[in-house]
Chains A and B, each alone.
Chain A
Amino acid sequence: MAGELESCKSLSGLLNGLAQEAFHGHPGITEELLRSQLYPEVPPEEFRPFLAKMKGILKSIASADMDFNQLEAFLTAQTKKQGGITSDQAAVISKFWKSHKTKIRESLMNQSRWDSGLRGLSWRVDSKSQSRHSAQIHTPVAIMELEIGKSGQVKPSIVD
């Protein structure tokens, strides 16, 4: 089964799935889903420790917000460990972090935003010509609608 576990394409998919669940808040990405989609030949009792190892590595990298030097050093150490990773796996992990680092940091920041955020913004510009009480000729006015809220809440607020 080591052969299947070493597949680089599957590992890339696995890291994606782990990131979706751990950082980007997508529910429902279970161990069984990942196994059946990416490593169908691997029995669950072998897959479980493998998944835990990859998850641990990804979380360590994200938690330390590793730059590329730290990443190389960390992954090299992992390849030298007993029960660690192969150098091919290290290459896949390295490539994954380099392309997903920004997005993952952004998600971690959004997860830790406990105050309200800006969930939406739309606007229009009116040009007031006249009104009954005052002859305002040609006054442009910007009207904005902002959706401000915590996760799951939307409170529209209309201002001009």
Chain B
Amino acid sequence: MEGSSEPLLDAKAEVTNQLLDFQWKLGMAVSLDSCRSLKYPKVAVTLKVGERSSQVQNKSFEMTIPPFQNFYRQFKEIAAIIETL
């Protein structure tokens, strides 16, 4: 997934959701009904997002290693750009 070269939101749209917390766990799939013998790492992430005063929402999802590596790479790219500003 590449960073978008065009704005996702128009200039007037206000993003008020903030990332309040980032929780993760690293697990290992040991066996599936379709694959009895497996040792496969996977990452589960829970993001707590919310506006300052309103309800906090949890967004959870799971990634196998290739999508996780891409996820990590995106953050690294963002961090590199922010460093230059």
Residue ranges of A at the interface with B (Cβ–Cβ < 8 Å): 23, 62-65, 105-106, 108-113, 115-118, 120-125, 127, 138, 140, 142-146, 148, 157-160
Contact partner of B9 (CB less than 8 A), chosen from A120, A138, A140, A158, is A158
Contact partner of A108 (CB less than 8 A), chosen from B1, B35, B62, is B35
Residue ranges of B at the interface with A (Cβ–Cβ < 8 Å): 1, 3-4, 7-9, 15, 17-19, 29, 32-38, 40, 42, 44-45, 47, 49, 59-64, 66-67, 70-71, 74, 78, 81-82, 85
B82/A142 in contact, CB under 8 A: yes
**What distance in Å separates the Cβ of A148 from its nearest Cβ neighbour in chain B?**
5
B61/A138 in contact, CB under 8 A: no
> Which of A116, A138, A159 has the most C-beta atoms of chain B within 10 angstroms of its own C-beta?
A159
A145/B8 in contact, CB under 8 A: yes
- With A112-B34, A160-B18: A125-B81 Cβ-Cβ less than 8 Å: yes
Q: List 26 A-B contacts (CB under 8 A).
A: A23-B34, A63-B36, A63-B37, A65-B36, A109-B32, A109-B64, A110-B64, A112-B29, A112-B33, A113-B64, A120-B1, A121-B1, A121-B70, A123-B3, A123-B4, A125-B81, A138-B85, A140-B82, A142-B78, A142-B82, A143-B8, A143-B9, A144-B78, A158-B17, A159-B18, A159-B47
Chain B residue at smallest Cβ distance from A155: B59
A143/B37 in contact, CB under 8 A: no
**What distance in Å separates the Cβ of A138 from its nearest Cβ neighbour in chain B?**
7
